[in-house]
Structures are given as C-alpha cells and as structure tokens.
Structure 1
Amino acid sequence: MIRLVDNNNRYRSAEALTAMHMDRKRVFVDGLKWNIPVVDGRYEIDEFDNEHAVYLIATRPGTNEHLGSVRLLPTTRKHLLGDIFPMLVEGEIPRGPDVFEITRLCTSPHLADAETHRAVRQQLAMAVIEYALTTGITRYTMMTHMAFLSPLLALGWDCEPLGLPQDIGGQMLGALQVNVHPSTLQLFRSQFEISGPVLRLDLAE
C-alpha cells in the first residue's frame, strides 16, 4: 500500500518522511548531481517541502522503510513549474484548485533489482491517479527529462506538452500536463495486474 501524508498526519509520519528525504538526497544530489538544497548533509529538503505539500510514500509493510515516493504541490501556491521553471511553458501556466504538480518522483537506491523498482513506480503511478480521482484533481503538471518521456507515454498517461524542451543545466527538460481520467486507472490496473486500490486514504498513521 501507498501511504498518504499531508499536513493532517505529518507528525505521525515523521519516520517515513525522514527516510524519504534521505533517499531523495541519495538519488537527486549524490546520483544525479542536482544543485539543490541539502539539510545537515543528509536530507534533500527544499522550500516546497512545506505544510501544503502532499506525499505519496511506498513503505515496506510493517515498517517505515522508504521504497519510493512522489510529492504533489498545489498550483494555487508557489510551485516549481510556476515559479522556478516558467520558461518551460509556452503561454499560460496551468493553475487552479484542480491542478497539482508532480515532483520528486523517487525510488530508493537500496531496492534489490530493476523489477522491484518498476513495481514501486507502478504503484506510485496508480496512487497518483487514485488521489486525483478522490480529491477532484483533473490535471497534473510535471517536468521530465526527455529521455523519460517515451516510457512515460508507454504506460498510458494522457499527456500534453506545455512547451518545447529546453536545455536546463546541461539536461533537456520539458513540461507536461497530465489529464486525469478514471479510464487511466483502469488501464494501469489491467497493465500492472493490480485489482484494487493501492493508496491508503484514512490518514491513521
């Protein structure tokens, strides 16, 4: 199952959040060499990791071991595409209470093999759609490296480019809008052979 963490249960999920921030540092700073903030030399935490952020976190059953996670940001407030990378969008940046931004998709570098990485990412993809359908989100925005675009489309996401890719820090990045449909969730469940919900919504822990 995927754990939903927001401002309502953040204090009860401190261990899972700490493990997530440690893995984000290992992946994005140590591995990908992103020039982003690091706290105490161990945790990747930026200005958007605030009370408005929503996290979907995959943990090992019965523990707080981080397997993978994604951060969702409301576009009605400051967010990456709208305030840091607006140059990636041609025209108006999608904003509104029904539009959230997907950021910091991360799988733990400690996962055993590529198949496990794939399984965690599949569950996170389903959880992103389940969360949207539950909360009234109709669209997501996101940035992606162009090398990841084909695999993203192959999964069945309904994506629209928001502008031409640009070289940012030596890497080609593009901005996308992802349209949310119940049919996308049905497609994912069929492809991934997962019959029921993966996102835990009760916020009990």
Structure 2
Amino acid sequence: MLHIVETHNRLSFSLLVEDMFALRARVFKDRLQWDVHVEDGKEIDVFDAADPLYILSVNDVTGRLEGSVRLLPTTGPNMLRDVFPVLLPDDLVVESPIIWESSRFCVEPDAARLGEGRIHRVTTELLCGLVEVGLRAGLSHIVSVYDARMARIFKASACPAEVIGTPTRIGRVMTYAGLFEISETLLQNIAATQPTRENAELRDDLPALRVA
C-alpha cells in the first residue's frame, strides 16, 4: 500500500515519517556507505525542510514501512541544481513547474534481499507510485540523480531514462542525471514487469493530490 505524505497531512503519518528517516540511515549510510549525515539513527538533509512530497510503501499485513522516495519541485531547492550541478552542462538548468525531482529512493534491506534475482514488489510499487503522482500532478517529467545500481534497476523495471549531461564518478560510484517522461504507457510498462494484484490496484490507493 502506498501513502502520499505532504505538509498538510504529515502529522497523520508522523511515525511512518520517522521510520522513513531511520530506513534511509540504514540504506544510505550503513548499507551503501554514502557520505550522508545521520543523527540519532536518522538520515535527514536540508531538502526535507523544503516542503517535499513523500511516497511511502507500507506492508498491508504488518503495517511496516518497506520503502520510500521523495519528490521536490525543480522550481525550488533540489539536489540536482544545488548539490550535483557538475552532472549538467554549463548552459543547462532543469527548472519547470511540470518537472519534479525524485531522490532518496530506498527499499528496506531485508525486503530487498527476499526479492534477490528479480525486481522486488516494493521497488515496482514505488516506481508506479512516482509515475502516478506525476500523472495526477500534471507533470511532463521526473528528473533524478542516481547511481549505477539504480540505473540497472530502472532498466530491469522498463523505466528508461534520458541521461542528461555527462555521467560522472562522485565518490566511489558512477552518478547520472536522468529525465523520465511521465505517461500512462510508462506506468503500464513498469507494472507489467511484476503483474501482481497490488500493482493492478495501485492507482485506487492514491489519494487526490494537493498541487500548488
């Protein structure tokens, strides 16, 4: 099940949001060894104060958070412009009310291991959720900064990206900036990589979005 969390309903999901920050610490700091700041077991950065939208994947049976991803409009603070401008040519700026940025895509490590050898259900659910949010918000594209690991996941999930700029090694990993065109076709293609009952009913689980 997906929950869409924005500023206006964040208090209703406060415990899940705290779980999300803890999950991000386990994934990005402990597992992937990224250079991120963790305090009190939680990974929180400046962009979490920029009025983001979160997509949270929660297990229907246990109520446990299993994955999450963050969305920010490119008209405000975002990671591509403010942290990774090196990925873009000097004359290229990605800034539009109909292009949002996704970041901090993560899946609970224990759940991910259960899906070894195929795209895990939570990954598919989150990717479908990103596209569905984009469709409901009237977006043309979602832009993202991602590493080679996520590039392989996108390819296996029938979620192709248009790489913009030049892939660059940042730290220990090759890093990309990519544009994903939002369409019903993309949503159907991602869902078809793992045709399950959860994915077939995914769209009905999403509430109406508050879009500025």
When normalised by structure 1's length, the TM-score is: 0.90
Q: For residue 71 of structure 1, what is the amino acid of its counterpart?
A: R
Query: Which residue is 2:83 aligned to?
Result: 84
Distance 1:114 1:154, change over 3 A: closer
Query: Which residue is 2:53 aligned to?
Result: 54
List per-residue Cα deviations over 1:44-91 (Å, max 9, x = no partner).
000001251110001122654210010111111111001110010123
- Tell me which moved more, 138-147 or 124-133: 138-147
List per-residue Cα deviations over 1:100-153 (Å, max 9, x = no partner).
111001111232612597110001111101100011111111111124324313
When normalised by structure 2's length, the TM-score is: 0.88
- Does 1:39 pair with 2:18? no
SS in 2 for 1:8: helix
Query: Which residue is 1:201 aligned to?
Result: 207
Query: In 2, are the aligned partners of 1:48 and 1:79 still within 8 Å (CA)?
Result: yes
In 2, Cα distance between equivalents of 1:140 and 1:95: 11
Aligned CA RMSD, in angstroms, stands at 2.0
Query: In 1, are the aligned partners of 2:101 and 2:142 still within 8 Å (CA)?
Result: yes
Query: Which residue is 2:129 aligned to?
Result: 127
Distance 1:50 1:170, change over 3 A: same
Query: In 2, are the aligned partners of 1:7 and 1:51 still within 8 Å (CA)?
Result: no
Query: Which residue is 2:150 aligned to?
Result: 148
1:100-111 matches, within 5 Å, as 100-111=100-111
Which runs of 5 or more residues in structure 2 are unaligned?
Answer: none
In 2, Cα distance between equivalents of 1:109 and 1:79: 26
Identify, as 1 or 2, the structure richer in helix: 2
SS in 1 for 2:72: strand
Which runs of 5 or more residues in structure 1 are unaligned?
Answer: none
Distance 1:63 1:10, change over 3 A: farther
Q: CA deviation at 1:163?
A: 1.2
Distance 1:175 1:51, change over 3 A: closer
In 1, Cα distance between equivalents of 2:93 and 2:75: 11
Distance 1:202 1:65, change over 3 A: farther
In 2, Cα distance between equivalents of 1:182 and 1:117: 20
List per-residue Cα deviations over 1:11-58 (Å, max 9, x = no partner).
110011011111110110111111112122x10000001251110001
In 2, Cα distance between equivalents of 1:64 and 1:150: 29
Query: Which residue is 1:184 aligned to?
Result: 186
Q: CA deviation at 1:192?
A: 2.2
